[in-house]
């Protein structure tokens, strides 16, 4: 894959420079991109091979504007509920994983359900181009089409515990005993379906396993 980020004076090493996506032509289902003429006029083309490096535009940065987290704890009559959230606001991710699920590659490859919304004469207004083997109409070529917002809110950990009454534990010569159930990565709010937005600052996905969703149970005993 050609480098999609570059360091320009006054900019950041994490800035994206990409060909600008112009949507799908509803008349024929071909993908479209923007390019510039020698006179500097911005025009639409259906032939990706006609675009050149100077047609690339600054399309944002992979660096978030704000990252952080917050925690909440509630307790009532031996019960305690705690939750830890993390969040990112701003920044971009180039979703190369999605490209793989949309490309018309070798037979037997899995496809994204987005392909059900591909262009057909009966479905002309869509952002998924028609199926074709024409190289110049390969709509998964690098462009802003696959640059997505990396903002998210994630419930990292939530724990519900119950501490047994002291009269119960003292009878067994125990200091305290509590039961708990804990969940990790149970909820993520993001604009992009199917993408784990918690990615590296490099901003390009590449078969990175998402955070595992787990639920565990346990008991804490203090002697």
Give the per-residue pLDDT at 33: 96
For the beta carbon of residue 155, count every other beta carbon within 10 angstroms: 16
The answer to the question of residue 43 being in a domain is no
* Model pLDDT for residues 69-80, shown as the tens digit of each residue: 999 999 998 899
The answer to the question of residue 201 being in a domain is yes
The answer to the question of residue 19 being in a domain is no
* Model pLDDT for residues 122-176, shown as the tens digit of each residue: 999 999 999 887 766 688 889 999 999 999 999 999 999 998 887 777 766 777 7
Q: Domains in the chain: how many in total?
A: 1
The answer to the question of residue 83 being in a domain is yes
The answer to the question of residue 176 being in a domain is yes
Report the alpha-carbon distance of residue 186 to residue 158 in Å, rounded. Answer: 8
The answer to the question of residue 204 being in a domain is yes
Report the alpha-carbon distance of residue 49 to residue 39 in Å, rounded. Answer: 19
pLDDT reading at 117 higher than 90: yes
Residue-number span of the structural domain to which 216 is assigned: 63-222
Query: 143 burial class (0-12, 13-18, 19+ CB within 10 angstroms)?
Result: buried
């Amino acid at each position: 894959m050609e480098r999609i980020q570059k360091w320009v004076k006054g900019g950041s090493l994490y800035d994206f420079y990409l060909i600008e996506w112009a949507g799908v032509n509803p008349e024929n289902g071909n993908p479209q991109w923007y390019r510039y003429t020698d006179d500097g006029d911005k025009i639409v083309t259906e032939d990706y091979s006609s675009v050149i490096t100077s047609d690339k535009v600054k399309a944002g940065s992979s660096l978030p504007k704000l990252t952080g987290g917050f925690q909440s704890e509630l307790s009532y009559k031996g019960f305690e509920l705690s939750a830890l959230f993390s969040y990112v606001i701003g920044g971009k991710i180039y979703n190369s994983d999605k490209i793989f699920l949309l490309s018309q590659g070798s037979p037997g490859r899995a496809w994204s359900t987005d392909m059900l919304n591909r262009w057909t004469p009966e479905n002309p207004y869509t952002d998924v181009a028609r199926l074709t083997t024409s190289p110049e109409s390969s709509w998964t070529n690098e462009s802003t089409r696959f640059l997505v917002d990396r903002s998210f809110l994630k419930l990292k950990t939530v724990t519900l515990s119950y501490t047994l009454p002291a009269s119960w534990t003292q009878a067994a010569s125990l200091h305290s005993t509590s039961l708990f159930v804990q969940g990790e990565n149970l909820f993520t709010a993001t604009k992009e379906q199917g993408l784990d937005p918690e990615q590296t600052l490099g901003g390009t996905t590449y078969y990175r396993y998402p955070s595992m969703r787990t639920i565990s149970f346990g008991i804490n005993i203090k002697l």
